[in-house]
A = this chain, B = another copy of it.
Amino acid sequence: MNNFLRINMSKQKISNKACPKKYKFIGGRLLTSTLIAEEVPPEVPPFSEKNKLIIAPGSLGGTSAPSAGRLSIGSKSPLTKGIKESNAGGVLANKLSRLGYKAVIIEGKAEENRWYILKIAEEKVRLISTDKIENIIGVDNYQSCKILQKKFGKENGFMLIGPGGERKLPIATCAVTDRDGFPSRQAARGGLGAVMGSKGLKAVVVDDSNTSKINYKNKAEFQAMSKEWAQELVKNKKSLTKYGTAILVNAMNEVGGLATKNFSQGTFSGAKNLSGERLAEIQEKRNGKATHSCMPGCVIRCSNIFHDEGGEFLTASLEFETITLLGSNLGIDNLDLIAEIDRFCDGFGIDTMDFGGALAVAMENDYLSFGDEKALRDTLEEVQKATLMGKLLTQGVKTTGKVLGVDRVPEVKGQGISAYDPRALKGTGVTYATSPMGSDHTAGNCLPGREGFTEEGKRNIEPQKAEGKIVLSREMQIMSAMCDALGICLFIGTSYITAKKTAKLMTALYDKNFSPQDMLNFGRKTIATELEFNKKAGIGKFQNRLPNFFRKEKLPNSGLTWNIEPRRLQDIFVEL
- How many copies of this chain does one complex carry? 2
Query: Does A395 contact B391, Cβ atoms closer than 8 Å?
Result: no
Please encode chain A, from 95 to 117, with 1 for each CB lying within 8 Å of some chain B CB and 0 for all others.
Answer: 00000000000000000100000
Contacts of A391 in B (CB 8 A): 403-405
Closest Cβ of chain B: how far from A413's Cβ, in Å?
A: 10
Complex CA gap A404/B45 in Å reads 19
Which residues of B lie under 8 Å from residue A388 when comparing CB positions? 367, 388-389, 392, 403-404
Contact A538-B81, Cβ < 8 Å, known A388-B367, A392-B392: yes
CB of A467 closer than 8 Å to a CB of B = no
Please give, as numbers and ranges, the residues of chain B lying within 8 Å of A539 by CB-CB distance. Answer: 43, 538
User: Which of chain B's residues have a CB closer than 8 A to the CB of A399?
Assistant: 399, 402-403
Q: Nearest B residue to A392 by beta-carbon distance?
A: B403
Given A45-B542, A386-B405, 11 other A-B residues pairs in contact with their CB atoms under 8 A:
A42-B540, A43-B541, A43-B543, A44-B543, A50-B542, A81-B538, A388-B389, A391-B403, A392-B392, A395-B403, A399-B403
The answer to whether A405 touches B167, judged by C-beta atoms less than 8 angstroms apart, is yes
A48: interface (CB < 8 Å): yes
Binding site for B on A (CB under 8 A): 41-45, 48, 50, 81, 112, 167-168, 367, 386, 388-389, 391-392, 395, 399, 402-405, 407, 535-543
Shortest 10 CB-CB distances between A and B: which pairs?
A538-B538, A43-B540, A537-B538, A44-B542, A41-B542, A43-B542, A391-B403, A43-B538, A392-B403, A388-B388
Find chain B residues with CB under 8 A from A536 CB: 538
Nearest chain B CB to A417 CB, angstrom units: 16
Q: Are A538 and B392 in contact (CB under 8 A)?
A: no
Give chain B nearest CB distance to A332 CB in angstroms. 23
The CA of A566 and the CA of B109, in the complex, are separated in Å by 16
Interface centre among A45, A167, A388, A543 (most CB of B within 10 A): A388
B395 pairs with A402, CB closer than 8 A: yes
Question: Which chain B positions have C-beta within 8 A of A45?
Answer: 542-543
Q: How far is the CA of A402 from the CA of B171 in the complex (A)?
A: 13
- Closest Cβ of chain B to A84, distance in Å, is 14
24 A–B contacts, CB within 8 A, in A order: A41-B540, A41-B542, A42-B540, A43-B535, A43-B540, A43-B543, A44-B542, A45-B542, A45-B543, A48-B542, A50-B542, A81-B538, A112-B407, A167-B405, A168-B405, A388-B404, A391-B403, A391-B405, A392-B403, A395-B403, A399-B403, A537-B538, A538-B538, A538-B539
- Nearest CB to that of A570 among chain B residues? B41
Q: In the docked arrangement, what's the CA distance between A407 and B167, Å?
A: 11
Question: Chain B's nearest CB lies how many Å from the CB of A194?
Answer: 11
Find chain B residues with CB under 8 A from A112 CB. Answer: 407
Query: How far is A369 from B399 in the complex, measured between Cα atoms in Å?
Result: 25
In Å, the complex CA distance between A234 and B541 comes to 53
A537, B540: Cα distance in complex, Å: 9
**How far, in angstroms, from A295 to B340 measured CA to CA in the complex?**
63
| Min CB gap A361→B, angstroms | 13
Note all chain B residues with C-beta closer than 8 A to A537.
538
Complex CA distance for A542 and B405, rounded to whole angstroms: 31
Please determine whether B538 and A42 come into contact, CB atoms closer than 8 angstroms: yes
A169: nearest chain-B partner, CB-CB: B405
A542 contacts across to B, CB distance below 8 A: 41, 43-45, 48, 50
Alpha-carbon distance A541/B43, docked complex (angstroms): 8
Residues of B within 8 A of A540 (CB): 41-43
Kindly report which residue of chain B lies nearest to residue A395, judged by CB atoms.
B403
Q: Are A403 and B403 in contact (CB under 8 A)?
A: yes
Give the shortest distance, in Å, between A314 (CB) and chain B (any CB). 29
Q: Quote the shortest CB–CB distance from A486 to chain B (angstroms).
A: 30
Task: List chain B residues, Cβ under 8 A from A167.
Answer: 405
Minimum CB distance partner of A112 in chain B:
B407
Query: Please, which residues of chain B bring their CB within 8 A of the CB of A43?
Result: 535, 538-543
Bound CA span A50–B48, Å: 31
- Report B-chain residues with C-beta under 8 Å of the C-beta of A389: 388
Which residue of B is nearest A538, CB measured?
B538
With a cutoff of 8 Å between Cβ atoms, the chain B residues found around residue A44 in the complex are 542-543
- Which residues of the partner chain B approach A402 to less than 8 Å between Cβ atoms? 395, 399
| CA of A541 to CA of B48, assembled, Å | 13
Min CB distance A43 to B, Å, is 3
Q: In whole angstroms, what is the CA distance A405 to B218 when docked?
A: 54
Q: Which of A386, A389, A402 counts the most chain B CB atoms within 10 A?
A: A402
- Kindly list chain B residues whose C-beta atoms are within 8 Å of the C-beta of A543: 43-45
Residue of B nearest to A413 (CB): B45
Which residues of chain B are within 8 angstroms of A407 by Cβ–Cβ distance?
112
- Distance between A567 CB and nearest chain B CB, rounded to angstroms: 12
